Amino acid sequence: MARILAVHAHPDDIEWLAAGTLALLSRSGHQVAIVTATAGEGGSAAFGPEETGRIRQAEAKDAAALIGADYRCLGFPDLGVFNDDASRRRVTELLRELSPDVVITAAPVDYHPDHEAISLLVRDACFAAPVANYRTGSAAPLGAIPHLYFCDAAAGRDREGRPHGRDFAVDVGDTFALRREMLDRHVSQADWVRKHHAVDDHLAAMEAWARRVGRDFGVTYAEGFRQYRHDPYPRTPHLQALLGDRVLSPPAA
């Protein structure tokens, strides 16, 4: 059994980008945890930040429970995630507590500043987690840097609209219905994305995105990933091995 940790910025980001893969892993007996940097307390025009944060954490917990995953929030402010010393120590302590074999996080380029910041924080916390003299809290340093993966950015593009690359995708046809149900637990976001993102139906928009990735790889629904392989991060295809024949190679250029 492997320990899988998915860290993104806001409640519902993982449901948009990687929850079908997490559902496959959970179904195979692996232990899955979903963590968000923030409670997403900016994401409501109907409630104030405290109430919104409470609502959204409860929604995220319900969604994670559908695949038997634990959920927790790191408590950074919405639109206030920065790659600084205190934040890196907080994320490193999380990694030391959960001791994941595989970490999945946001793409380093994305439309939202919190997405880009949590991606950098997680990347650097993976490096820091085994460094014994880097002090964070009570959890013991990791034995090694975990395998690190980035999921797609929203719409697969950076802030200038340029598409980013992918190493592989995962065929999530078998778990897509579950992923959709997970997103549907984020009830508060149906109104919010209509108002703020001009997305009329967030379930339909998410489905269109999963179909779009699937089309690139010749299946109905897929989720895209990139493995971070720079020295001294592990280069072995650990997540790919756990997913077996669900892994799809990119089409030949």
Span near Zn ion by CB under 5 A; candidates 11-19, 120-128, 170-178, 236-244: 11-19
**Which CB sits closer to Zn ion, 20 or 240?**
20
**Which CB sits closer to Zn ion, 9 or 67?**
9
Interface pick for Zn ion out of 5, 13, 41, 242 (rule CB under 5 A)? 13
The strand order across the sheet containing 147-151 reads: 70-76, 31-38, 3-8, 102-105, 147-151, 222-227, 168-171, 247-248
226: which residues sit within 8 A by CB, 6+ positions away?
Answer: 107, 149, 150, 164, 165, 166, 167
In the complex, least distance from residue 114 CB atom to Zn ion, rounded to whole angstroms: 6
**Which CB sits closer to Zn ion, 196 or 215?**
196
Q: Among all chains, which residue has been given the structure tokens 């009570």?
A: 138
In the complex, least distance from residue 72 CB atom to Zn ion, rounded to whole angstroms: 16
3-state secondary structure 143-208: CCCCEEEEECCHHHECCCCCECCCCEEEECCCCHHHHHHHHHCCHHHHHHHHHHCCCCCHHHHHHH
Query: Smallest Cα–Cα separation from 112: which of 76, 71, 150, 157?
Result: 157
Which run of H or of E encompasses 38?
strand 31-38
Span near Zn ion by CB under 5 A; candidates 5-13, 66-74, 134-142, 176-184: 5-13
Q: Is 10 in the site for Zn ion (CB under 5 A)?
A: yes
In the complex, least distance from residue 27 CB atom to Zn ion, rounded to whole angstroms: 25
Q: Is 56 in the site for Zn ion (CB under 5 A)?
A: no
**Which CB sits closer to Zn ion, 11 or 214?**
11
Interface pick for Zn ion out of 4, 5, 6, 9 (rule CB under 5 A)? 9
- Comparing every residue's Cβ against Zn ion, the nearest one is 10
Binding site residues, Zn ion, CB under 5 A: 9-10, 13
